[in-house]
Amino acid sequence: MSFQHIHIPENFDPITSVDGELQVPDRPIIAFIEGDGIGPDIMNASKRVWDAAVEKAYGGQRQIGWMEIYAGEKSAGIYGGDYLPEESFEALRQFLIGIKGPLTTPVGGGFRSLNVTLRQVLDLYACVRPVRWYEGVPSPMKEPWKVDFTIFRENTEDVYAGIEYEAGTPENEKIARFLREELGAKFFDGAGIGIKPISEFGTKRLVAKAIRYAIERKKKSVALVHKGNIQKYTEGAFRKWGYEVAAEEFGDYTITEDELWSSYDGQQPEDKIVIKDRIADIIFQHLLLRPLEFDVLAAPNLNGDYLSDAAAAQVGGLGIAPGANIGDEIALFEATHGTAPKYANQDKVNPGSLLFSGVMMLEHLKWWEAAKVIEDAYQATIAQKIVTYDFERQMENATKVKTSEFATAVIDNM
Ligand code: NAP
């Protein structure tokens, strides 16, 4: 397909997928969406760091061909008011891997969040958020080094599926009548009504992705997070289907926590991942008090949303928390914070969230060496107390630098 405003970089090749396996050429084309507000500042800084790390790790053998695609305010300017043009979706379908800055959700007038639309249209069903601490990063934890886990949040169903009926509308009254008269349900008059679909299909593909990640990275456990004691047929079913897919598809690699005690006397075999489950409320305490017990967590949409923001706060906050939305083939990596419009174009904010989303992206491509170069250089930079304003205000004797200067310091430390 030829594009109207997207330019495909010359002398670079598309990433493809064969039988679910990514085929990554040495000179892959990767799509990027600059983002609104602080997006251009953090994207420009991060691209310099990613490129330098690839150069450092592979000495010119590998290089990324950046292909700009458009969404948000920049897109509206180029495509005559269209905030999310069809060719941006098409480019992601064709080139599979992208990374984006934050996008403004225009207020009012029938707009859905651009992020939610991207996830739903491209069926990016897993929101993946690694949570780990880097030495020197300000943290409210007494022992932040114990925090190192990855949350897989289901991205397409649950109460976020958008099936909601406002109190007082004919649709709401119809559903309320049906629930009361046909099913004997009891609830107050005038209640807004939302539906919470959680399916076997949606659960199993999410949990399977979390287990595959755990196998690939030699993690020790996958915890299913749910509120199944109360919501038996949605959250409880998530738990049940999670255990089922572990046994059906990954029986050689996994044991349940019950089996760990009944068959292995509590001694985890080297080659087995323990599948366990935790109730959604207690997990918030456990991640604070016993973070070492968790490696990978899989959660339905709403619980996963709360949990991933709370967990990010343990290791430095959203300013440096990375994330990705991943489907069967397409993956879109993204800064997890918003556009912070009051800081737009000031070259001021922390590029950490986008920077580490890029680290996740390099790992997804299995360019482990380049990812490691960035992690090491980032750590060295923080150890030198060279930081942006947000960290500087929480540290003593730190040097405050601009976004671009921080990127330069990371590159200098490679
Ligand atoms: P926000 O843009 O995340 O900013 C809230 C505050 O978080 C900022 O004022 C700043 O705090 C801090 N912050 C955010 N990013 C930072 C960074 N890179 N470095 C340092 N500090 C950072 O949230 P918002 O103001 O609620 O939302 C603004 C817009 O972003 C809205 O249009 C919203 O729809 C959109 N949004 C987009 C996404 C996305 O694209 N994924 C996500 C969330 C929100 P201080 O003022 O304390 O320094």
- Predicted confidence (pLDDT) per residue in 150-173, tens digit: 999 999 999 988 899 999 999 999
Query: Which pLDDT belongs to residue 105?
Result: 77
Tokens of 224: 């299913």
Cα–Cα distance for residue pair 232/380, rounded to 1 Å? 48
- For residues 312 and 353, is the Cβ–Cβ distance under 8 A? no
Select from 359, 385, 353, 373 the least CA-distant residue to 413: 373
Active-site choice (125, 160, 213, 378): 160
This prediction's pTM: 0.94
Probe ligand 1: pick from 33, 42, 119, 337, max atoms within 8 Å of CB? Answer: 337
* Distance, CA of 291 to chain centre: 19
- Predicted confidence (pLDDT) per residue in 41-78, tens digit: 999 999 999 999 999 999 999 999 999 999 999 999 99
Cα–Cα distance for residue pair 364/324, rounded to 1 Å? 10
Cα–Cα distance for residue pair 21/31, rounded to 1 Å? 19
Average pLDDT, the chain: 95
The answer to whether residue 309 is catalytic is no
pLDDT band at 331 (very low <50, low <70, confident <90, very high): very high
pLDDT band at 111 (very low <50, low <70, confident <90, very high): low
Cα–Cα distance for residue pair 278/297, rounded to 1 Å? 10
**Cβ-count burial of 70 within 10 angstroms (0-12 exposed, 13-18 middle, 19+ buried)?**
buried
* 403 has a pLDDT exceeding 90: yes
Residue 144 DSSP one-character state: G
Residue ranges lining ligand 1, Cβ < 6 Å: 38, 42, 102-105, 115, 319, 334, 337-341, 349-350, 353, 390
Max CA pair span of the chain? 71
